[in-house]
Structure 1
Amino acid sequence: MYQFNFAPVFDNFDQLLWGAWVTIQLSFGAMVIGLVVAVICAVGKTAGPKPVRFLIDVYIELIRNTPFLIQIFFIYFALPAFGLRLTPGSAALLALVVNVGAYATEIVRAGIESIPTGQVEAGTALGLKRGQIFRYIVMKPALRTVYPALTSQFIFLMLTSSVVSVISANDLAAAGNDLQAQTFASFEVYLVITVMYLILSLGFSGFFSLIQRAAFHYPMSR
């Protein structure tokens, strides 16, 4: 009969907490930068010239139709052949940004295209500048529309970040692997890690729901 022993896990629980903190940092950093990439690409895809739209389409299709594991291997192991050497943490962040940027581009683009052209024309008629029209008439309603999809993408990104442990990035999964190697308590370690990922996912879901109520509380137009 297997004897459960969680004592070695909780004796070294600080390692898992640090790994969870690194996972949060990676996920937030990748989501913020990736969202900037997504907005730029979405604007380029909806209003840019044909060559720009083509390049963005190539980027999106390349990322969305290749495994994330191969992407991170390419960034960490293949780019040094061209003189670009990255630390595990930097490579993990870059891979996550490139990945989430491609997925979020389509989400943001859908939000932008959901804005009626009549609203943009009304803003122009009122004398608003192009930047004001983009910020208040296009982006804010678009972000409100796609906010649930973006938050789901963040949760998925945070869970996907566990893959970066394969290049020795010090995230929660990597901390769990190190602790398992030290204690040989495989079941206990990975059960605790599973619960920690679940808590992170549920916690951020609740956090994003609070932000949605605070930032997008005004009623939808009919």
Structure 2
Amino acid sequence: MQTALQFGPILIHLDLLLRGLEKTIQLAALSILFGTAIGVLGAVGRSFGPRLVSWVIAAYVELIRNTPLLIQLYFVFFSLPLFGFKLSSNTAAVVALSIHLGAYATEILRAGIEAIPEGQIEAAKSLGLSRYRIIRHVVLVPAARAVYPSLSAQFILQIMGTSIVGAIAAEELTAVANNLVMQTFRSFEVYIIIAIIYFVLVQVASLLFAGIGKLVFRWKV
């Protein structure tokens, strides 16, 4: 028996989908911002910090990269309250996503830092530049330029990774879609629409990140 597709019952809830999309964009933007900051600090600390600091950062990176994001999300939301840190679902989602991205961004940026020629750093030292200026201008900027395509690809994965935070009742796009499926019983139509929305979102984000790369680094990424 064939069943005709019916998008009407879904489209009347378009306002809910748009609110879910807005929440997805907010979660992605905040976690990318904080995750990148963690990545920069982690990469610098692991490359230039004391050995103990480097070991701690390495342990953090390995722990996060070798455990599922969903488990990390559950730990932040369900386990931290046991230690007195009770977070809302949205805040827990941002924290977990940021920590997750931070580990990957740390390794991506560290790879860029290690690619900087040692002679370039020695030349900066001979010119009398401070350690801060060497790290910022001689190391971080060229490293970020070199790895920006990989970093922006990780940002795209971060956007799609927001789709699991509905597991802790964060009202992002996929969570709204699941609720609509239960209300309308039109699962096929709902997920077609959601797939289209995610596709458009990722395409727009890709163009945005490419534009940011050209603007910031003045080169074609």
**Corresponding residue number in structure 1 for 2:95:** 94
Deviation at 1:83, TM superposition (A): 1.7
Instruction: State how far apart, in whole Å, the 2-side matches of 1:76 and 1:214 are.
Output: 37
**Corresponding residue number in structure 1 for 2:198:** 197
Deviation at 1:47, TM superposition (A): 1.4
Instruction: State how far apart, in whole Å, the 2-side matches of 1:83 and 1:214 are.
Output: 43
**Corresponding residue number in structure 1 for 2:167:** 166
Is the 2:121–2:134 Cα contact (8 Å) retained in structure 1?
yes
Instruction: State how far apart, in whole Å, the 2-side matches of 1:214 and 1:71 are.
Output: 34
**Corresponding residue number in structure 2 for 1:124:** 125
The superposition leaves residues 184-212 of structure 1 with CA deviations (integer Å, 9 ceiling, x where unpaired) of: 21111111001111111111111112222
**Corresponding residue number in structure 2 for 1:79:** 80
Deviation at 1:10, TM superposition (A): 1.1
The superposition leaves residues 86-116 of structure 1 with CA deviations (integer Å, 9 ceiling, x where unpaired) of: 1000110011011011111100101111111
Instruction: State how far apart, in whole Å, the 2-side matches of 1:79 and 1:216 are.
Output: 39
Instruction: State how far apart, in whole Å, the 2-side matches of 1:60 and 1:120 are.
Output: 26
Is the 2:213–2:219 Cα contact (8 Å) retained in structure 1?
no
Q: TM-score, normalised by structure 2?
A: 0.95
Is the 2:31–2:94 Cα contact (8 Å) retained in structure 1?
yes
**Corresponding residue number in structure 2 for 1:53:** 54
Q: 1:10 and 2:14 equivalent? A: no
Residue aligned with 1:169, SS: coil
Instruction: State how far apart, in whole Å, the 1-side matches of 2:94 and 2:173 are.
Output: 15
The superposition leaves residues 51-77 of structure 1 with CA deviations (integer Å, 9 ceiling, x where unpaired) of: 111111111111111111111111111
Aligned-residue RMSD, C-alpha: 1.3
The superposition leaves residues 5-49 of structure 1 with CA deviations (integer Å, 9 ceiling, x where unpaired) of: 101111111111111111111111111111111111111111122
**Corresponding residue number in structure 2 for 1:180:** 181
Unaligned runs of 5+ in 2: none
Number of residues of Structure 1 aligned to a counterpart in Structure 2:
219
**Corresponding residue number in structure 2 for 1:105:** 106
Structure 1 residues 218 and 188: CA distance shift in structure 2, 3 A: closer
Q: Which moves more between the two structures, 142-151 or 52-61?
A: 52-61
The superposition leaves residues 121-152 of structure 1 with CA deviations (integer Å, 9 ceiling, x where unpaired) of: 22222232222222221111111001001100
Unaligned runs of 5+ in 1: none
Instruction: State how far apart, in whole Å, the 2-side matches of 1:131 and 1:43 are.
Output: 11
Instruction: State how far apart, in whole Å, the 2-side matches of 1:218 and 1:75 are.
Output: 39
Instruction: State how far apart, in whole Å, the 2-side matches of 1:35 and 1:120 are.
Output: 24
**Corresponding residue number in structure 1 for 2:211:** 210
Higher RCO (C-alpha 8 Å, min separation 6): 1
Instruction: State how far apart, in whole Å, the 1-side matches of 2:178 and 2:10 are.
Output: 12
Q: TM-score, normalised by structure 1?
A: 0.94
Residue aligned with 2:43, SS: helix
The superposition leaves residues 151-174 of structure 1 with CA deviations (integer Å, 9 ceiling, x where unpaired) of: 000100111110101111011111
Instruction: State how far apart, in whole Å, the 1-side matches of 2:55 and 2:216 are.
Output: 34
Q: 1:144 and 2:141 equivalent? A: no
Instruction: State how far apart, in whole Å, the 1-side matches of 2:36 and 2:135 are.
Output: 16
- Report sequence identity in percent: 45
